Amino acid sequence: MYIIKSTDSDPLGGLEFSAKERKSLRTKAKALGPRGEEGELISGECPIDIAHRITFVGVGDEKDITHSRMREALNRVMRQATKNREYQIALGVPVKVHGLTAAESRLFALREASISDYTFDTFKSKKNEFEKIDGLHILPLVKETEDELEERLVKVRLLRASQVLARNLGNRPANDLNPETFAQAAKEMSEEAKGLRVTILGVKELQKEKMGGILGVSQGSVQEPRMIIIEHRPKKPKKSVVLVGKGVTFDSGGISIKPAAGMGAMKADMVGAATVMGIMRAVADLDLPIKVVGLIPAVENMPSGSAIKPGDILTTSSGKTVEVDNTDAEGRLILADALHYSARFNPDIVIDFASLTGACVVALGHEAAGMMGNDKDLMDELQKLGEQVGERVWPMPLYEEYLSYLKSEWADIKNAGSRWGGAVTAGTFLKQWVPDKVSWAHLDIAGVGYNEKEHNGLPKGASGFGVVLGATFLENLLK
């Protein structure tokens, strides 16, 4: 049995035990003397029948417990349980996350506990031992009924499946996940999740739609592009939302090639698309009465004799022309076609997720996604929910003057400007393809969608960032 404890909290105060069990546990806790300091792990024989061992996991000062500190504590629980070969564990979390209500904190802790054993070992001959933890029993809180706990756990399990899907996609190598196999993954998901319809546009269909951005970026690769369309269409939808995800399954930079160091992580330049896939699965599993469409332009950006070159001019599906100033600014080219295509679904709201710019990582590090858009109310709601679910987004401006940074002498617009304001000029570029009178938000998840090492309790690799935020946002549209 594992119990999360802060320096200020009674480790048993918030948990539901009988009077006899509580007395025995208090005696044991007094003997072990847990202080609750961050990183502390104190174990001893459990005095009640629920478990063989009791372990107190310290998280530090209660008023300062952040989302990341809670994640890190739950990570320690799983690692310690694996080390002790404890494959059935009970977990108690009476500590509250700073800034959240008791209910929000409880849901966050349950959700993070459910996925804290995640590992990606598909390509390892020896599987990770974390998989052996096959039983996680959540200790109820005082006044928390079994029905209330089970209702929370049902939602947690649904979201876990969507997060795992997004992480698995983001962690697959580029020789395994390309535009065609990405499309196949979408079809497989639609067979598992009820109520989704998947349509795939191949080269001929993309040519018919005149999607010069997608076709241009992909022309240097032997892997043909795809547009993946995932639709959830209930009979009487209350809203219409389109989600767009950048799906560059490998980004070499093209002719404007990236440095070799760290290029392997560019297999994950499709984490925005993975997020959209995860949200669409959650929408289907939750059976939300909202029309939701996921659009994923999937390409590979490679250098070759047929690749686009700096100075080339592409014509996008809207008719707007783009001078390619930098072939490594390819994500915005494929998103332009997808954003324009979104208009045919008559959306009230369009949200795009993209690992778009290194400039956003320079600005915000790995602590929040950059957010731009044309609707303050939409952005405020996403920011509020991001703080609630532990997927933070931070607003950045889209001043009209930024458009001048992208002025082209030869086309309607350039795809990249100077080194200054790289994240916001990318957002400014995308804004030119957003349908009229549609609320739009752009989330640049370059710094939070993929971790090159463990960070804030999240594993190395794809984080699944945005799945919970997106699903929660869509649920809240019904309120």
Gap between the Cα atoms of 313 and 415, Å rounded: 10
Q: Which of 14, 6, 130, 107 is nearest to 60 (CA)?
A: 6
Residue 149 lies in a domain: no
Pairing verdict, β 393-395 and 369-373: parallel
**Cα distances (Å, whole numbers) of residue 312 to 228, 250, 408:** 26, 21, 12
Among the ranges given (64-68, 72-76, 133-137, 317-321), the one the predictor scored with the smallest mean pLDDT: 133-137
Helices (H) and strands (E) in the chain, counts: 13, 19
Clarify whether 258 is annotated catalytic.
Answer: yes
Res. 132 pLDDT band, cuts 50 70 90:
low
Q: Say yes or no: 111 and 165 in one domain.
A: no
Q: Say yes or no: 220 and 323 in one domain.
A: yes
Question: What's phi and psi for 157, nearest 5 deg?
Answer: -65, -40
Among 187, 210, 258, 320, which one carries the catalytic annotation? 258
Q: Say yes or no: 205 and 69 in one domain.
A: no
Among 106, 111, 332, 414, which one carries the catalytic annotation? 332
Instruction: Output the pLDDT for position 420.
Output: 93
Give the model confidence (pLDDT) of 54-81 as tens digits: 999 999 987 778 999 999 999 999 888 8
Res. 446 pLDDT band, cuts 50 70 90:
very high
Length of the chain: 479
Gap between the Cα atoms of 212 and 370, Å rounded: 27
Q: Say yes or no: 411 and 301 in one domain.
A: yes
Residue 455 carries which DSSP code? B
pLDDT beyond 90 at 229: yes
Give the model confidence (pLDDT) of 264-276 as tens digits: 999 999 999 999 9
Q: Say yes or no: 213 and 361 in one domain.
A: yes
3-state secondary structure (DSSP) of residue 168: helix
What lies within 8 Å, CB to CB, of 328 at 6+ separation is: 251, 253, 254, 256, 257, 258, 301
Indicate yes or no: pTM above 0.85. Answer: yes
Using an 8 Å Cβ cutoff, are 200 and 295 in contact?
A: no
Q: Say yes or no: 308 and 227 in one domain.
A: yes
Instruction: Output the pLDDT for position 84.
Output: 85
Boundaries of domain holding 200: 160-476
Instruction: Output the pLDDT for position 427.
Output: 98
Residue 87 sits in a domain whose CATH number is 3.40.220.10
Gap between the Cα atoms of 408 and 417, Å rounded: 9
* Cross-strand pairs, 58: 5
Containing 293, the helix (H) or strand (E) segment is: strand 291-301
Pairing verdict, β 88-92 and 2-5: parallel
pLDDT: is 229 or 419 the higher one?
Answer: 229
Gap between the Cα atoms of 368 and 377, Å rounded: 19
Q: Say yes or no: 290 and 225 in one domain.
A: yes
Instruction: Output the pLDDT for position 128.
Output: 66
Residue 245 lies in a domain: yes
Q: Say yes or no: 187 and 322 in one domain.
A: yes
CA angle, 376 then 474 then 211, to 5°: 80
pLDDT beyond 70 at 211: yes
Question: What's phi and psi for 160, nearest 5 deg?
Answer: -60, -45
Q: Say yes or no: 467 and 329 in one domain.
A: yes
pLDDT beyond 70 at 6: yes
Number of domains in the chain: 2
pLDDT beyond 80 at 250: yes
Residue 376 lies in a domain: yes
HSE (side-chain half, CA atoms, 13 Å) at 407: 6
Q: Which of 48, 43, 3, 44 is nearest to 21 (CA)?
A: 48
Residue 175 lies in a domain: yes
Of 117, 145, 172, the residue at which a domain comes to its end is: 117
Residue 218 sits in a domain whose CATH number is 3.40.630.10
Of 117, 152, 186, the residue at which a domain comes to its end is: 117
Task: Report how far apart the first and last C-alpha atoms of the chain are (Å, whole number).
Answer: 38
pLDDT beyond 70 at 203: yes
Q: Say yes or no: 164 and 21 in one domain.
A: no
Residue 144 lies in a domain: no
What lies within 8 Å, CB to CB, of 286 at 6+ separation is: 155, 158, 471, 475
Q: Say yes or no: 317 and 457 in one domain.
A: yes
Residue 81 lies in a domain: yes
Res. 123 pLDDT band, cuts 50 70 90:
very high
Containing 115, the helix (H) or strand (E) segment is: helix 102-115
What lies within 8 Å, CB to CB, of 372 at 6+ separation is: 395, 396, 397, 398, 423, 424, 427, 431, 441, 442, 444
Residue 463 lies in a domain: yes
- In 70-193, DSSP assigns E strands to 88-92, 135-138
Q: Say yes or no: 325 and 462 in one domain.
A: yes
Res. 129 pLDDT band, cuts 50 70 90:
low
Among the ranges given (109-113, 338-342, 380-384), the one the predictor scored with the smallest mean pLDDT: 109-113
Gap between the Cα atoms of 390 and 109, Å rounded: 10
Residue 112 lies in a domain: yes
Using an 8 Å Cβ cutoff, are 221 and 326 in contact?
A: no
* Residue 254 token pair: 């093209």
Of 117, 152, 180, the residue at which a domain comes to its end is: 117
